[in-house]
């Protein structure tokens, strides 16, 4: 134990008069952050403190002076507002839910993520991955899913950004004051704080377990900042994505292995574990280890018991975005752990490299997750396709379309991103049903009933607020820099609340091409400063502290925004967070998205914009390939990919200028006599009608439930019933088959395919097979059959099972199988024969090495 001089500690909690005690209950459930009435309640307590606390109600309640509490408790209007909000919260928590009707009893889902973006006052996120995780929890709560989140409680979270005079990003790391956050310390029955221990590099590291309540859903957060730990171990939960690979692997061990142990300590053993990105992939090993210990299973038996209950979502096709660890690092941190699982170094390392991968290659967390999950998905259709190509060698003997890797397109939690004004407008014309179920297209068609002027006026309010907000932020920035009075006055003149406003905000990763729009400065100047039809752009975003190139992009934009010709038309807002994001997505007319296809796996900001009536102009990448319908926004190019990046940038930046000059700007400024741009509002309506029903996390979480959680749970139950009988039996059966599979031989394949077959014809096929010692009932003989693509591989093929024919004159062990291929489509067809194991209960089973192709 290292010596410390620890001061005696005590905690001061807000002491609220009884009349106001409900405020605390509301403040400690993040449900408030998507309930406008609750937000207004906190705001009315003290709007200045509310702003200063970064919209943190726990801190706000703690800083209210006794005098103001006394006057507040005598304010009848406030008390009635408070009681309304409390009733709403109670109703929310106890009301009937979608899952009660749609879900399976007994299911318990744990959702693991390195970051969670729930609200700006709880800074445990960096960007899209975290926001998605936060929105996932919120919708899981709305739908009543039996789900909990698992993450890390960072003492400093992700960095905050400010820009120096030259426009370089500077980072600072304010401490999160846990006692001013909506945290509950989890305690056991004896009242002692719950903690877990994991072994890291040979020594135990303790982590405490906290809970944040997100509506109905608990989010458990682990924190290693305990006196019992060595200083370097206390810092494991210091920062999100800070530190080197050593730090990263230690964080991932705490998140995954510690996370599973925390759930166990809380008596909440999940049957479904959902890994949001590969950071938590070690959880697969811990689930296996626990079963081995508890039920005396061997490694492979435990694998069969848990794999079906693991789900993995991959979020990027960019290799640099995926964790790869050198094998020495794994050896150092997990050496004794894997030996405890009965694995050799070789068999352990093989879990993190492709089947034909180099034995010494780096260990990939995404591969570990895929090998030990029953189902993997990408986050848009295009990303699914790209991922199947990217990861094909994880399943070496399956055709691309048959990999257990599908896609579920991302969404956003609409209520968290909608402006109050737009939400009110929707309630007036659509009723309130969309709040519970935003997935019905028929409901959103009622958008057509909103008068154009009203929709336009509502959207304008958002723009006006964005402009005011941007001016305030800019002034604050300048005050900090001790700028001159003139500069402060100028800050009040940037942007114009009445002109076409473009938003561009995201992580400044180079593939997102933040400066594509600045490619041709002369042309840009002419567009922005057009005398009758001016345009302005609001930028925001952070670059990872180690990403010099990203920082350079930010600097270029900031420099440009200081040139006289752009000073009033381009603004870069510091410190992009959920609050800045809300102002942006609620206020912009156009959201610009310029990733290098196909590197934007999904993208979600454009969805937030769509709910607020803004329009999208985007490269056809990620979600926009599914969202774009011709009349509901714009596509930049047609999804072309060129080999020459310079050329691609050139072509696509020109396409943006063309679009702006010829279509977007004229449409925005073509006004009817009442000042409303009818062509533009028609697009706004088309955009909301087509995009809102599809791109919410309500739709997304339903899809996860129906396509992943429920089947995974059924599969898991089947294998774990009766003391995991089937799982054990399956593992042993596979082992036996591996021993005999080499005996299998295809003698002959006969078909009556002449060169041409008419569409609709059935082609008989007959196969002779030597099965050796494998019982005939334990194999599935199938034809993989379909239309060929230009490279001669089968596309979108179907599986045609062949059946055993009565024994002919051949002697055993030659057996005959037959069937018919139905040629429904014209074109060049191909077929391949394959033999797979067939299990008496589970049917055709895939296992690497147990597929024979002919």
Ligand X SMILES: *Cc1c(COP(=O)(O)O)cnc(C)c1O
User: Stretches 149-157, 310-318, 574-582, 674-682: which one binds ligand X (CB under 6 A)?
Assistant: 574-582
- Residue 439 makes contact with ligand X by CB under 6 A: no
State the nearest-atom distance from the C-beta of 136 to ligand X, in Å.
Answer: 13
- Residue 581 makes contact with ligand X by CB under 6 A: yes
Site for ligand X in 252-291 (CB under 6 A): none
- Residue 574 makes contact with ligand X by CB under 6 A: no
User: Stretches 65-73, 95-103, 599-607, 719-727: which one binds ligand X (CB under 6 A)?
Assistant: 599-607
- Residue 603 makes contact with ligand X by CB under 6 A: yes
Residues 473-512: x where in contact with ligand X by CB under 6 A, - otherwise, as a string = ---------------------------------x------
State the nearest-atom distance from the C-beta of 842 to ligand X, in Å.
Answer: 38
Site for ligand X in 59-118 (CB under 6 A): none
User: Stretches 104-112, 558-566, 573-581, 821-829: which one binds ligand X (CB under 6 A)?
Assistant: 573-581
Pick the closer one to ligand X by CB: 542 or 734: 542
> Could you tell me the sign of the dihedral formed by the alpha carbons of 54, 23, 46, 9, in that order?
negative
β-strand 169-172 against 160-163: which pairing, if any?
Answer: antiparallel
Can the peptide bond before residue 598 be classed as cis, meaning omega within 30 degrees of 0?
yes
- Residue 578 makes contact with ligand X by CB under 6 A: yes
- Tell me how far apart the alpha carbons of residues 805 and 808 are, in angstroms, rounded to a whole number: 8
Pick the closer one to ligand X by CB: 547 or 717: 547
The residues, any chain, with a CB within 8 Å of residue 444's CB and separated by 6 or more, are 430, 434, 438, 688, 689, 692, 693
Count of positions (residues) in the chain: 854
Pick the closer one to ligand X by CB: 378 or 677: 378
- Tell me how far apart the alpha carbons of residues 643 and 719 are, in angstroms, rounded to a whole number: 48
- Residue 353 makes contact with ligand X by CB under 6 A: no
- Tell me how far apart the alpha carbons of residues 219 and 257 are, in angstroms, rounded to a whole number: 16
- Tell me how far apart the alpha carbons of residues 88 and 35 are, in angstroms, rounded to a whole number: 9
Pick the closer one to ligand X by CB: 283 or 581: 581
CB 452 within 8 A of CB 676: yes
Closest CA to 56 of 157, 180, 219, 213: 180
Work out which of 376, 605, 648, 720 binds ligand X, going by CB under 6 A: 605
User: Stretches 168-176, 460-468, 575-583, 819-827: which one binds ligand X (CB under 6 A)?
Assistant: 575-583
State the nearest-atom distance from the C-beta of 54 to ligand X, in Å.
Answer: 13
- Tell me how far apart the alpha carbons of residues 693 and 607 are, in angstroms, rounded to a whole number: 11
State the nearest-atom distance from the C-beta of 306 to ligand X, in Å.
Answer: 31
State the nearest-atom distance from the C-beta of 586 to ligand X, in Å.
Answer: 12
What φ, ψ does residue 811 adopt, rounded to 5°?
-90, 150
State the nearest-atom distance from the C-beta of 412 to ligand X, in Å.
Answer: 7
Q: What is the DSSP letter of 404?
A: S
- Residue 693 makes contact with ligand X by CB under 6 A: no
State the nearest-atom distance from the C-beta of 141 to ligand X, in Å.
Answer: 19
State the nearest-atom distance from the C-beta of 390 to ligand X, in Å.
Answer: 20
- Tell me how far apart the alpha carbons of residues 727 and 618 are, in angstroms, rounded to a whole number: 47
192: exposed, middle or buried (C-beta count within 10 Å: 0-12, 13-18, 19+)?
exposed
Work out which of 223, 286, 301, 577 binds ligand X, going by CB under 6 A: 577
State the nearest-atom distance from the C-beta of 127 to ligand X, in Å.
Answer: 4
Pick the closer one to ligand X by CB: 283 or 540: 540
- Tell me how far apart the alpha carbons of residues 259 and 227 are, in angstroms, rounded to a whole number: 20
Query: What is the number of helices (H) and of strands (E) in the chain?
Result: 33, 29
- Tell me how far apart the alpha carbons of residues 348 and 341 are, in angstroms, rounded to a whole number: 9
SS3 39: helix
Pick the closer one to ligand X by CB: 211 or 506: 506
State the nearest-atom distance from the C-beta of 214 to ligand X, in Å.
Answer: 17
SS3 562: coil
Q: How far is CA 851 from CA 370, 775, 779, in A?
A: 19, 16, 10
State the nearest-atom distance from the C-beta of 577 to ligand X, in Å.
Answer: 5
Pick the closer one to ligand X by CB: 207 or 581: 581
β-strand 272-276 against 310-313: which pairing, if any?
Answer: parallel
Pick the closer one to ligand X by CB: 30 or 196: 30
Pick the closer one to ligand X by CB: 577 or 782: 577
115: which 2 tokens? 């970051």
- Residue 240 makes contact with ligand X by CB under 6 A: no
- Residue 317 makes contact with ligand X by CB under 6 A: no
SS3 607: helix
State the nearest-atom distance from the C-beta of 627 to ligand X, in Å.
Answer: 12
User: Stretches 201-209, 598-606, 665-673, 724-732: which one binds ligand X (CB under 6 A)?
Assistant: 598-606
Q: Tell me, by CB under 6 A, how many residues bind ligand X.
A: 12
- Tell me how far apart the alpha carbons of residues 845 and 719 are, in angstroms, rounded to a whole number: 14
State the nearest-atom distance from the C-beta of 121 to ligand X, in Å.
Answer: 13
Strands (E), 755-813: 762-770, 779-788, 794-801, 803-804
CB 430 within 8 A of CB 443: yes
SS3 412: strand
288: which 2 tokens? 């296996």
Pick the closer one to ligand X by CB: 22 or 219: 219
- Residue 576 makes contact with ligand X by CB under 6 A: yes
Pick the closer one to ligand X by CB: 581 or 688: 581
Pick the closer one to ligand X by CB: 131 or 443: 131
CA-atom Rg of the chain in angstroms? 29
Find residue 537's DSSP bridge partners.
502, 570
Closest CA to 838 of 717, 720, 744: 744
State the nearest-atom distance from the C-beta of 51 to ligand X, in Å.
Answer: 18
Pick the closer one to ligand X by CB: 501 or 602: 602
- Residue 604 makes contact with ligand X by CB under 6 A: yes
The residues, any chain, with a CB within 8 Å of residue 641's CB and separated by 6 or more, are 597, 598, 648
User: Stretches 167-175, 286-294, 576-584, 745-753: which one binds ligand X (CB under 6 A)?
Assistant: 576-584
State the nearest-atom distance from the C-beta of 589 to ligand X, in Å.
Answer: 17
Pick the closer one to ligand X by CB: 271 or 618: 618
State the nearest-atom distance from the C-beta of 379 to ligand X, in Å.
Answer: 10
Pick the closer one to ligand X by CB: 501 or 616: 616
User: Stretches 98-106, 600-608, 733-741, 844-852: which one binds ligand X (CB under 6 A)?
Assistant: 600-608
CB 778 within 8 A of CB 837: yes
- Tell me how far apart the alpha carbons of residues 174 and 609 are, in angstroms, rounded to a whole number: 30
Site for ligand X in 814-853 (CB under 6 A): none
Under the phi-then-psi rule, with left for phi > 0, alpha for psi from -120 to 50, and beta for the rest, what region is 559? Answer: alpha
- Tell me how far apart the alpha carbons of residues 410 and 610 are, in angstroms, rounded to a whole number: 14
Pick the closer one to ligand X by CB: 419 or 771: 419
Residues 119-158: x where in contact with ligand X by CB under 6 A, - otherwise, as a string = --------xx--x---------------------------
Pick the closer one to ligand X by CB: 128 or 837: 128
CB 764 within 8 A of CB 751: yes
- Tell me how far apart the alpha carbons of residues 498 and 337 are, in angstroms, rounded to a whole number: 62
Pick the closer one to ligand X by CB: 578 or 615: 578
State the nearest-atom distance from the C-beta of 541 to ligand X, in Å.
Answer: 8
CB-CB neighbours of 54 under 10 Å = 15
Q: Summarize as ranges the residues that interact with ligand X (CB under 6 A).
A: 127-128, 131, 506, 576-578, 581, 603-605, 608
């Amino acid at each position: 134990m290292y010596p410390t001089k620890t001061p005696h500690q005590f905690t001061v909690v807000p002491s609220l008069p009884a009349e106001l005690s409900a405020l605390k209950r509301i403040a400690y459930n993040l449900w408030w952050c998507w309930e406008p009435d609750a937000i207004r309640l906190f705001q009315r307590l003290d709007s200045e403190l509310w702003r200063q606390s970064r919209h943190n109600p726990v801190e706000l309640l703690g800083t209210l002076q006794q005098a103001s509490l006394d006057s507040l408790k005598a304010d009848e209007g406030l008390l009635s507002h408070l009681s309304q909000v409390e009733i709403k919260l109670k109703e929310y928590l106890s009301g009937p839910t979608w899952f009660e009707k749609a879900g399976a009893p007994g299911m318990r889902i744990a959702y693991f993520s390195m970051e969670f973006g729930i609200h700006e006052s709880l800074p445990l996120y960096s960007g899209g991955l975290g926001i998605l995780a936060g929105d996932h929890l919120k919708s899981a709560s709305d739908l009543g899913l039996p789900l909990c989140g698992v993450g890390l409680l960072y003492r400093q979270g992700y960095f905050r950004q400010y820009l120096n005079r030259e426009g370089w990003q500077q980072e600072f790391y304010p401490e999160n004051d846990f006692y001013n956050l909506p945290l509950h310390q989890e305690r056991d029955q004896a009242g002692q704080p719950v903690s877990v221990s994991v072994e890291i590099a040979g020594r135990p590291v303790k982590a405490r377990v906290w809970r944040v309540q997100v509506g109905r859903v608990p989010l458990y957060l682990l924190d290693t900042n305990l006196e019992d730990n060595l200083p370097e171990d206390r810092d494991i939960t210091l920062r999100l994505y800070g530190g080197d690979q050593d730090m990263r692997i230690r964080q991932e061990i705490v998140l995954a292995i510690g996370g599973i142990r925390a759930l166990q300590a809380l008596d909440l053993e999940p049957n479904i574990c959902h890994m949001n990105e590969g950071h938590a992939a070690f959880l697969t090993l811990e689930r296996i280890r626990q079963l081995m210990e508890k039920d005396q299973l061997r490694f492979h038996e435990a694998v069969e018991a848990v794999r079906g209950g693991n789900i993995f979502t991959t979020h990027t096709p960019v290799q640099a975005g995926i964790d790869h660890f050198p094998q020495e690092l794994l050896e150092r941190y997990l050496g004794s752990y894997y030996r405890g699982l009965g694995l050799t170094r070789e068999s352990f390392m093989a879990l993190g490299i492709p089947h034909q991968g180099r034995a010494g290659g780096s260990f990939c967390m995404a591969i570990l997750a895929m090998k030990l999950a029953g189902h993997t998905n990408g986050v848009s259709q295009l990303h699914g396709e790209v991922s199947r190509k990217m990861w094909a060698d994880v399943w070496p003997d399956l055709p691309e379309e048959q990999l257990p890797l599908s896609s579920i397109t991302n969404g956003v939690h609409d209520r968290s991103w909608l402006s109050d004004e737009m939400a009110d407008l929707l309630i007036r014309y659509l009723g309130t049903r969309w709040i519970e179920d935003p997935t019905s297209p028929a409901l959103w068609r009622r958008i057509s009933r909103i008068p154009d002027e009203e929709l336009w006026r509502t959207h304008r309010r958002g723009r006006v607020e964005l402009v005011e907000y941007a001016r305030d932020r800019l002034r604050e920035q300048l005050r900090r820099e001790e700028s001159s009075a003139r500069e402060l006055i100028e800050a009040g003149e940037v942007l114009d609340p009445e002109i076409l406003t473009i938003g561009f905000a995201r992580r400044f990763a180079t593939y997102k091409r933040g400066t594509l729009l600045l490619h041709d400065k002369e042309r840009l100047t002419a567009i922005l400063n057009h005398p009758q039809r001016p345009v302005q752009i609001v930028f925001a975003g952070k670059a990872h502290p180690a990403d010099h190139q990203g920082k350079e992009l930010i600097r270029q934009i900031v420099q440009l925004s200081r040139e006289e010709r752009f000073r009033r038309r381009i603004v870069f807002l510091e410190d992009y967070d959920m609050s800045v994001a809300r102002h942006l997505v609620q206020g912009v007319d156009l959201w610009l998205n310029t990733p290098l296809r196909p590197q934007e796996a999904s993208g979600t900001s454009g969805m937030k914009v769509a709910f607020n009536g803004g329009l999208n102009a985007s490269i056809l990448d990620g979600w926009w390939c599914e969202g774009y319908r011709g009349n509901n926004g714009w596509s930049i190019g047609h999804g072309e990919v060129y080999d020459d990046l310079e050329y691609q940038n050139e072509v696509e930046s020109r396409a943006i200028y063309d679009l702006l000059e010829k279509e977007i700007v004229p449409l925005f400024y073509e006004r009817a006599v009442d000042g409303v741009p009818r062509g533009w509002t028609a697009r706004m309506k088309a955009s909301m009608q087509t995009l809102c029903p599809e791109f919410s996390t309500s739709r997304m979480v339903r899809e996860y439930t129906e396509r992943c959680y429920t089947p995974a749970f059924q599969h898991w139950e089947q294998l774990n019933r009766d003391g995991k009988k089937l799982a054990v039996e399956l593992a042993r059966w596979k082992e036996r088959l591996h021993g005999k599979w080499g005996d299998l031989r295809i003698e002959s394949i006969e078909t009556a395919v002449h060169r041409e077959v008419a569409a609709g014809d059935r082609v008989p096929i007959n196969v002779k097979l030597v099965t050796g010692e494998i019982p005939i009932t334990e194999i599935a003989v199938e034809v993989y059959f379909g239309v060929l693509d230009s490279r001669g591989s089968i596309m979108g093929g179907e599986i045609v099972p062949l059946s055993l024919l009565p024994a002919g004159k051949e002697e055993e062990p030659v057996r005959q199988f037959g069937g018919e291929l139905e040629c429904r489509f014209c074109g060049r067809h191909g077929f391949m024969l394959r033999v797979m194991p067939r299990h008496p209960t589970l049917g055709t089973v895939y296992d690497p090495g147990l597929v024979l192709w002919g």
